[in-house]
Amino acid sequence: MRWNVRGGWVGTDGFDYFAALAAVRTPYLAVAGGSDRVFAPVAACRQVVERVGSERKSLTVEAGLSHRGLVLAPRARDVCWPGVAAWLKEALG
């Protein structure tokens, strides 16, 4: 969680994860909870997606869901997961 507070993502060994994201070439989907203010806020997720080097990258924001809610909220089944499944089918199809 430190990376989204500090605005940088460097390991204890000095490895710069943000810089390394430029080498990612596989399709990349990020899903953020619009109500997540602590673990992975939308702005922090956007920082990651912007650094990914893939030509096919996307950030989906699910309004009203928290970090945990993306997986555990009853409505995530209806509003979040169908979009993830459709993106995977398209990207891998």
3-state secondary structure 33-57: ECCCCCCCCHHHHHHHHHHCCCCCE
Specify the pTM: 0.86
Residue-wise pLDDT tens digits, 59-74:
999 999 999 999 999 9
Reported as a single tens digit per residue, the pLDDT across 1-53 is: 666 667 778 888 999 999 999 999 999 999 999 999 988 999 989 999 999 99
d(CA 7, CA 29): 20
The predicted pLDDT at position 5 comes to 67
In whole angstroms, give the CA distance from residue 20 to residue 30.
17
Average pLDDT over residues 72-78: 95
CA distance 33 to 38: 10
Q: What token pair was written down for 4? A: 């989204």
| Residue 78 pLDDT | 95
**Which residues are paired to 57 by β-bridges?**
28
The predicted pLDDT at position 45 comes to 92
For 37, the token pair is 């203010």
